[in-house]
Amino acid sequence: MRIFVKVKTNAKEERVEQVGDKNYLASVKAEPIDDKANEALVKLLARYFGITPSAIKIVHGSSSRHKIIDIPGSRQS
């Protein structure tokens, strides 16, 4: 499944919120430096969808707040 995620960095708490059919808002504590925010996002989405982080792939937007992400066989928690 392909989802669209808007990411907020330097957040007080980490969370994922579904705001549309395939649109999500994600907040991560990490800073957008040296790919730390992307790594935190992948771990957060893995917990949210109940899959391993290695299964998640950032398809587009690795240096942007708006990302397109592929998640195989998702099951929402």
Please, which pLDDT band fits residue 19 given cuts at 50, 70 and 90? very high
Q: What is the CATH number of domain 2-70?
A: 3.30.1200.10
Residues with Cβ within 8 Å of residue 23, at least 6 apart in sequence? 3, 4, 5, 6
C-alpha dihedral sign at 61, 10, 1, 23: negative
Percent of the chain beyond pLDDT 70?
Answer: 95
Please, which pLDDT band fits residue 77 given cuts at 50, 70 and 90? very low
Report the alpha-carbon distance of residue 36 to residue 39 in Å, rounded.
Answer: 5
Give the pairing type, strands 2-8 and 23-27.
parallel
Mean pLDDT of the chain: 93
What single-letter DSSP state applies at residue 54?
Answer: G
What tens digit of pLDDT does each residue of 28-51 get? Answer: 999 999 999 999 999 999 999 999
Domains of the chain by residue range: 2-70
